[in-house]
Each structure stands twice: as structure tokens, then as C-alpha cells.
Structure 1
Amino acid sequence: MARLVIVVEKASDWGSYYPSVDVVSAMDYLREPAGSDDERTHVINLCRSYKYLGTGYYVSLLAEARGHKVMPSVRTINDLGRRSLYGVDIDDLNQKLTHFLPAGGRDTTDFGILVYFGETAYPALQDLSRQVFESFPCPLLRIEFERDRVWQVSSIKPVGLHTLDDAQEDAFAEELDRFSRKLWRKPRARKLYRYDLAMLVDPNEQMPPSNRKALKQFVAAGKELGIEVDTIGKNDYQRLAEYDGLFIRETTASDNHTYRFAHRAEKEGMVVIDDPASILRCTNKIFLNDLMVSRKLAVPRTEILYRDDSRGMKEVAARLGYPLVLKIPDGSFSRGVVKVESEAALDKASGELFQHSALLLAQEYVYTEFDWRIGVLNREPLYACKYYMSRGHWQIYNHAAKGDAKSGGFETLPVDRAPSEVVKLALKATSAVGHGFYGVDLKQVGDKPVVIEVNDNPSIDAGVEDAHLGGELYLRVMQEFLRRMERKRQGIGH
């Protein structure tokens, strides 16, 4: 996938480990002439100090200037010097640390732990260690704690390899090997690919955005363009910086690992589809409705319901009329969407949905035999589909059906055969969201289309969305990645 370079300040710092061609001294690395190596390179900077304008600092600085992926980055080095950034989001830190300390150490007021690539020898503090590493990606860190009534993180500091004892050296070697194993064991033939793209998937997801055949098509299309597409999972977070881009093919949510992956990829300067801003904007229907209304785009009449406001809920129902549709803000694939036809049904359904969200959407019911889905990539229409309602049901997906969720039929058309007003409204809707990859769901009553949703990470299933374009659909997506990655390498924006 890439050439691995381990930079040490002095040869003696590596004296306890096996010799490796991957290890170079800081001075040798700094003296390499600029532009001397076109091979993709991943640098692990193990210098004794990252002090500003010191040797370790310059290793990371020049690595970035050479287009190498380096850990720690200059940004991480700078962030570690700012104590205001040490806050970590772990509510039960005091309880964890109190139980972690042995009985004889309950009067301790300060102590620290070592973290090797996000791993620590103390299972009770593993979650905290991983969170710190994700915030400050650095090979070796020491987290210091102090207690003044309650425990808190007092400092997070880089640690030099030369300070480790024998047991710590063994732990570091094990984690270094685990962290870089794939880099070391990949054959050099991978240099044939110009770029490496991580495709985030969950093989156990029941309703994934792409079926297995479609995922293989993306891999094949990338190969044709000189892009190595490597499928990764949620446990590969630490490897993310090895790649030039991230393609998310899991159902996204702002509160799970898909958003963390997108945010990390963007922070690393990678090309990412879809980006964290698009995930936030698309996965919350309340935000999306306000965005569409603010842009004066046609949507069904929609109002917000608030928990513990039964009077307001009845007033909304009176304005919208029955039947109406209730929606959880972050539902997907028709989940968390209920049609109600009476006040009693409204009370029952809202009571159940309010257990999951403090706010709900109430929307006028608009019946059509099918929904339009317009696929849009970088503000250009890519495909057009009709998704028909599930047999005997008012939605495309019927989750109440026995067995797996049942869906209706589909019809995939050339974009120019879809109604022009539908395509135009879809493009306006995605322009309000971003320049990523979206699927716009619309309903059309007569000649008037309305936007139902804008989905980031839209479905691309072999045999459905590709029914008209075939392999060309996957090629166009990979071509967009290639265009963006080349512009990144050249230092150009979108």
C-alpha cells in the first residue's frame, strides 16, 4: 500500500529491536532531496522530542511538505502543546479511575499511563486511551491524571522511545507491529496504483447502501483507473491515514463510527465521500427540512412536534389534517416513519417515537405510486430511478412484513427521461447541502415535485441503480475520486 519509514533520532533508540530497512535516522530523512521519491510513503516519527523547530518537529514538517503521511502530524504536535485541548468526553472518568487504583493506592493524587498507538496495558482505561489517540494521533503518549476532589486528565505528552524500560519496549514493539503490519506485508507491486482508497463497509449490515456485487464493481472500476480500493471496517480507524481517500458504504449516522471516520479523514486532508458536514445535514430530517424551506424549495407541509406538548401536537394535526406522517429525525430506509389516521393513533405513535427523540416531524401525507430518486454526484445528475411502494403498503420499505423488510419494485431510467422539473429540483436541493454524492427522494403530484429527503451515501445496488448505466456508473464515481485526489495532490480545492 505504501512504503513505511520509521524515523528515530539516534540509532541507539532502535537498539533493542530487530534491525529493519524501514528504520532511518532523522538526519538521513531530513537530508533526502525533495521530490526524490514518488512512492507513497507513511512516516512514523519516533524522535525524542517534537519541540517547536527541533529535529522531531522538522521531520513531521518536511514529511508533510513531501506529501508523506506522517504520525504525529504538525497539527497534532501543535495541539499537544495546547492544554485547553486536553478535555476528553468520558463521563465516568472519576469512577473508572477510583476503581482502577489498587486498594493501597486510594490516597494517590496523581499517576500516569503509557499509550502505544491507542493501546494501553490497563483494560479499564482502554476506552479513554483510544479516545485520546483518536484526538491526538501520536505513536507514544503518556496521559497524566490528578485528583482534586475528582480525577481529571492533567496532561497528555509525547514520550521518547529511549525512555522505555524492557517491558514497555516489548509492549510498544507489539503495538507497532500491529499498527503497521499491513504496510510491511503488502508487496511492492502495489506501487502500480496511483492512489489508495478505503471503502468503509459492514458485511453484517442488513440493509447496506451497496450489495456485494456493487462493492466488487467499485473495486474493479477503481483498478481500471489506477486506484486500489481496499475494503475496511469499523475496527480499522487507526489505519485510516494510510489512504488517500475514504468512500463510506455503510449507513451513516452522526452518532456512530461512520461520522468519526469521515471527520478523521477530513482532518487528515483525505478526499472523503461523504464528508462529515453532508452526514450531519442529511441524517437529521429537521435540519434538512429547515434548509430546504430556507432555500424556498418545495417540500410537503411539515411541522415540528415537541415532547410533553400534547396541546401543540393536536394543533399541528388540525393544521395538517389526517392522515399525516410522523418521522424520527434520524431514521433511514423508512425506519422510524409512521402514518397515523386519527388522534388516538397519533397519541400512540408519538408516544413510542418520543422515546427515541425529543423532537419529531409531522408531515402532510402525499400519496404517489412511486418516489423519484435522482442520484447526484458533485452537483451533476448521475442516475434516475423510480422506487415503487411495497405491495399493499404506503412506503417503499415495509418493515412490518414477515421476515426481512419488503420493498417495492423499481425502474431505472436515463436522466434525460426523468421529468426535467424533478431533476432541476434535485440539483437545487443538493446544492444547498454540498458537493458530495447524494440521492434525492422526491414525489411528484401532477407537474409539481416536492423534496422528501436528501440522502448522503445513497443506495447503489447492482441490478438496481446501475440498471441503465451498468459499469459506467461505478466508473463515474471512481473518476470523481480520482479527480479530487489529483487536485489534492496538486494543492487545489474541489
Structure 2
Amino acid sequence: MTRLVIVVEKASDWGSYYPSVDVVTAMDYLREPVGGDEERTHVINLCRSYKYLGTGYYVSLLAEARGHRVMPSVRTVNDLRRRSLYGLAIDDLNAKLTHFLPAGGRDTTDFGILVYFGETAYPALQDLARQVFETYPCPLLRIEFERERVWQISSVKPVGLHTLDDAQEDAFATELDRFSKKLWRKPRARRLYRYDLAMLVDPNEAMPPSNKKALKSFIAAGKELGIEVDPIGKNDYQRLAEYDGLFIRETTASDNHTYSFAHRAEREGMVVMDDPSSILRCTNKIFLNDLMVSRKLAVPRTEILYRDDTKGLHDVAAKLGFPLVLKIPDGSFSRGVVKVESEEHLEKAAGELFQHSALLLAQEFVYTDFDWRVGVLNREPLYACKYYMSRGHWQIYNHGAKGTDKSGGFETIPVRDAPADVVKLALKATSAVGDGLYGVDLKQVGDKVVVIEVNDNPSIDAGVEDKYLGEDLYRRIMQEFLRRMERKRMGILT
């Protein structure tokens, strides 16, 4: 079960709130560890100061040594001292601050707000407050601003509970209750699972990497192995510290919350797939192409196009010929990919795609009836599929079609029955990326095999990728999570 422990420096610091058995003084916490081996303990450190080698610092330090999840962590405390964010201009900050300052305060040159677990009383600055909290997870923060020509952050400081007035104490109590809502639930009589795994999903995603039946199979496979797989959403960022691992089953991008979740999980020492490095390497096709070429792996002939480089745009036809394929670097599921048949079409398509990216990829057109997809987990082949082109179309996905014609058919076969050259190249491609879970798309023309892309968040749908392995596909992935989480735990114990 999970236990919440609130640590205060002096008992009087909690005097304005209801008594709670979850509240202990710093000295009591330091003298005697709270919780046994069967308890997952989450500590909220509300000491008056986190000064280096002070009482608050030691609370966070020993909490981590005991395997407790603590806020703030020692890393956060150290980062706050470094002031790495201070003086950084924030987009639209000048407009936001000017907007809500009262008329009489237009000439103000400094200003500050309190942030309680990422929440603030100023709606115009809520996004900024959450951004700062996610950078420096600390229960109570004061963000101070200063203005010379424009507003900027001058400091981010921890705040002591004892300094709050009545209204601020009420606000803090509200946000503490909201933040720790899951931890305040009635605990189970005994812990049923050895590990807790967060599975990041978006129920509203049009083309998720796993359908609902597959997600249920992941949950069932985890249960068999003593892992509680808990679906979470993008609003559960601050709950990550409750888990031992993170499994991302939502389409990833380096500029959205999926990367933030992966980065936070890795920073917390959790097992994570997709890890942030894999997301960065796989979601940008320009980076991935350079990576494959640097490893001397076969890829289609490729040229990089630059916005406003008219000569380069005209030269690419001579280099690659028509038809050719234009791609934006971060497209997924065949989005942002255009087949170009002529000079006129090239100019028009490039103009449209350059609105989304300053660089584009142009690749030779390699037609095949199907693409190979080889699933790879921890540098070992997991499954092999043939994805056939959508009816009357040159891609697997035809986003302009309706109903069942949007995607082509598939054939899932044993890995041993897939061409050896295809599997071998897939393994080489993923070894350049990492040791996580990947799906490698390849094309085979005669005896030539080329890598199209490596997906860090491959499709695993019930009825498709599991057609041959069945429930064993989900079990193997959960077994890899179990192996990694046990290694992490052994590392902590030793």
C-alpha cells in the first residue's frame, strides 16, 4: 500500500490544520524511518528551509536513501540553488503580467506569486506556474518577477509553511488535498502487487498505438506477473513518482507531454519505455536518417530540403527523379508524407509542408506491395508483420479515404519465417537507437532491403501484431518491465 508522510520542522507549523497521523516532525522522521518494506511511502517535506546540510535537506536526503518518494528531491533542492532558470525570458510573460496587474500597478517593477503544488491564484499565470513546478517539483514556491524593458523571472524560491497568512493557508490546504488525493484513499489491507506501472494513454486519440483490447491485455499480463498496470493521462504528471515504471502507449513527440513524462520518469529513476533518448532519435526523421547513414545502414536515397533554398528544391528532382516522396521530419502514421509526380507538384507540396517545418526530407520513391514491420524488444526480435498498402493507394494509411479503406491489410508471421536479411537489418537499426521497444519499418525489393524508419512507440493492436503470439506478446513485454524493475530495486538495495 501507499502511505503519505508530511514532514514539518516544528509541530506548531501544522497548528492551523486538522491533526493528522500522517504528519510528523522532522526530528521524528530523521530518527526513525517511517514504513516497512511492504509500504510505498511518499514524503512531502514542508520544512522551513532546505539549506544545504540543514534539517530540511537531510529529510529529503534520508528519504531518498530509504527508498521513499520525496518532494522536493535533493536534486530539486540543488537545482533551486543553482538558479538556472532565473533571468530567463518567458514567451508572452510581459503581456501576461501587464494584463492582470491592476491599473495602479502598471508602473510596478517587481512582483511575486505563490505556487502551491503547481497551482496559483492568478489564472493568467497558471501555465507558467505549472511549468516552473514541473521543472522544480516543490510543495511551496514563490516566483518573483522583475521588469526592466520586459518582465522576466528574477527568482524561484522555496517558501516555508510557517510564513503563510490565513488565506494562503486555506489555498495550500486545498491544493495539498487535491495533489495527494490518491494517497489519501483508504489503503488496501495488504499490497497485492510487487510493482506499479503507469501506462500513459489518451482515450480520445484517433490513431493510438494500442487499441482498447490490447491495453486490457497489457493490464492482464502485468497482473499475472505481480505488476499493477495503471492507465494514466496527461493530467497525471505529478503522480509519476508513485510508480516504479512508465509505459507510454500514446503517440510520442519531442514537443508534447509524452516527452515530458518520459524525461521526468527517467529523472526519477523509473523504468521507462519509450525513454526520452529514443523519442528524440525516432520522432525526427532527419535525425534518424543521419543516424542510419552514419552506421552505414541501407536507407532510400535521401536529400534534405531547406526553406527558401529554391535551387536545392529544383536540384532534388535531378538527383532523385520522379516520383519522389516529401516528408516533414516529425510526421507519424503516414501524416505529412506526400508523393510528388512533377516539378509543379513538388513546388506546391513543398510550399505547404514548409509551413510546418524549416527542413523537409525528399526520398526516392520505392514502391512495394507491403512494408515489413519487425518489432524489437531489448535488442531481440519480438514479432514480424507485413503491412499492405491501402486499397488504390501507395501508403499503408490513406487519410483521405473513408471507413475500412483508410488502411491496408496485414499478415503477422513468426519471426523465424521472416527473411533473415530483413530481421538482421531491423536489429542493426534499433541497436543504433537503444534497447527499448521499437517497430522497424523496412522495404524489400528483390534482394535489397532498406530501413524506412524506426518507431519508438510501435503499434501493438489486438488482432494485428498479436495475431501469432497472442497473449504471449503482452506477457513478454511485461516480463521485460519486470526484469528491469527488479534490477532497479536490486541496485537500490545494494
Range class of TM-score, shorter chain: over 0.9
Give 1:20's aligned residue.
20
Letter in 1 for 2:334: S
SS of equivalent residue, structure 1 residue 457: coil
Letter in 2 for 1:295: R
Larger CA deviation: 211-220 vs 301-310: 301-310
Give 1:359's aligned residue.
359
Residue by residue over 1:76-132, the C-alpha shift from the partner in whole angstroms, topping out at 9 and shown as x without a partner, is 001111123335562111121122211111222222111000000111111111111
Matches within 5 A, 1:391-406: 391-402=391-402, 406=406
Structure 1 stretches lacking a partner, 5+ long: none
Say if 1:405 and 1:269 are closer, same or farther in 2 by CA, change over 3 A: farther
Larger CA deviation: 385-394 vs 177-186: 177-186
The yes-or-no answer on 1:4 pairing with 2:7 is no
Give 1:258's aligned residue.
258
Cα offset, 1:165, TM superposition: 1.0
Distance in 1 (CA, whole Å) between partners of 2:3 and 2:388 is 50
Distance in 2 (CA, whole Å) between partners of 1:221 and 1:69 is 26
Cα offset, 1:487, TM superposition: 1.2
Letter in 2 for 1:437: L
Cα offset, 1:188, TM superposition: 2.1
Give 2:275's aligned residue.
275
Matches within 5 A, 1:414-493: 414-491=414-491
Distance in 1 (CA, whole Å) between partners of 2:397 and 2:43 is 47
Distance in 1 (CA, whole Å) between partners of 2:241 and 2:467 is 35
SS of equivalent residue, structure 1 residue 199: strand
Count of residues in Structure 1 that have an aligned counterpart in Structure 2: 493
Q: Over aligned residues, Cα RMSD in angstroms? A: 1.6
Say if 1:309 and 1:440 are closer, same or farther in 2 by CA, change over 3 A: same
Distance in 1 (CA, whole Å) between partners of 2:65 and 2:444 is 52
How high is the TM-score relative to the length of structure 2?
Answer: 0.97
SS of equivalent residue, structure 2 residue 325: strand
Residue by residue over 1:241-264, the C-alpha shift from the partner in whole angstroms, topping out at 9 and shown as x without a partner, is 111111111101111111111111
Say if 1:228 and 1:492 are closer, same or farther in 2 by CA, change over 3 A: same
Cα offset, 1:405, TM superposition: 6.9
Contact 1:372 1:384 in 2 (8 A): yes
Contact 1:194 1:226 in 2 (8 A): yes
Say if 1:87 and 1:481 are closer, same or farther in 2 by CA, change over 3 A: farther
Distance in 2 (CA, whole Å) between partners of 1:149 and 1:398 is 51
Matches within 5 A, 1:288-437: 288-402=288-402, 406-437=406-437
Cα offset, 1:155, TM superposition: 1.1
Cα offset, 1:292, TM superposition: 0.3
Give 1:180's aligned residue.
180
Distance in 2 (CA, whole Å) between partners of 1:34 and 1:7 is 11
Matches within 5 A, 1:162-177: 162-177=162-177
Matches within 5 A, 1:58-73: 58-73=58-73
SS of equivalent residue, structure 2 residue 84: helix
Larger CA deviation: 404-413 vs 447-456: 404-413
Distance in 1 (CA, whole Å) between partners of 2:98 and 2:210 is 46
Contact 1:3 1:42 in 2 (8 A): yes
Letter in 2 for 1:3: R
Say if 1:483 and 1:72 are closer, same or farther in 2 by CA, change over 3 A: same
Contact 1:88 1:131 in 2 (8 A): no
Structure 2 stretches lacking a partner, 5+ long: none
Cα offset, 1:349, TM superposition: 1.1
Cα offset, 1:16, TM superposition: 1.3
Letter in 2 for 1:162: H
Letter in 1 for 2:61: L
Cα offset, 1:64, TM superposition: 0.5
Contact 2:376 2:438 in 1 (8 A): yes
Give 1:133's aligned residue.
133
Distance in 2 (CA, whole Å) between partners of 1:149 and 1:286 is 39
Distance in 1 (CA, whole Å) between partners of 2:360 and 2:405 is 23
SS of equivalent residue, structure 2 residue 39: coil
Say if 1:222 and 1:401 are closer, same or farther in 2 by CA, change over 3 A: same
Cα offset, 1:298, TM superposition: 0.5
Q: How many percent of aligned residue pairs carry the same amino acid?
A: 87
Distance in 2 (CA, whole Å) between partners of 1:149 and 1:348 is 42
Contact 1:410 1:464 in 2 (8 A): yes
SS of equivalent residue, structure 1 residue 304: strand
Letter in 2 for 1:127: D
Say if 1:56 and 1:221 are closer, same or farther in 2 by CA, change over 3 A: same
Distance in 2 (CA, whole Å) between partners of 1:81 and 1:236 is 27
Contact 2:42 2:242 in 1 (8 A): yes
Distance in 2 (CA, whole Å) between partners of 1:179 and 1:438 is 34
SS of equivalent residue, structure 2 residue 219: helix
Distance in 2 (CA, whole Å) between partners of 1:297 and 1:93 is 46
Distance in 1 (CA, whole Å) between partners of 2:85 and 2:93 is 17
Give 2:208's aligned residue.
208
Cα offset, 1:34, TM superposition: 9.0
SS of equivalent residue, structure 1 residue 368: coil
Cα offset, 1:31, TM superposition: 1.4
Give 1:45's aligned residue.
45
Say if 1:190 and 1:487 are closer, same or farther in 2 by CA, change over 3 A: same
Give 1:142's aligned residue.
142
Contact 2:325 2:340 in 1 (8 A): yes
Distance in 2 (CA, whole Å) between partners of 1:446 and 1:176 is 63
Cα offset, 1:148, TM superposition: 2.1
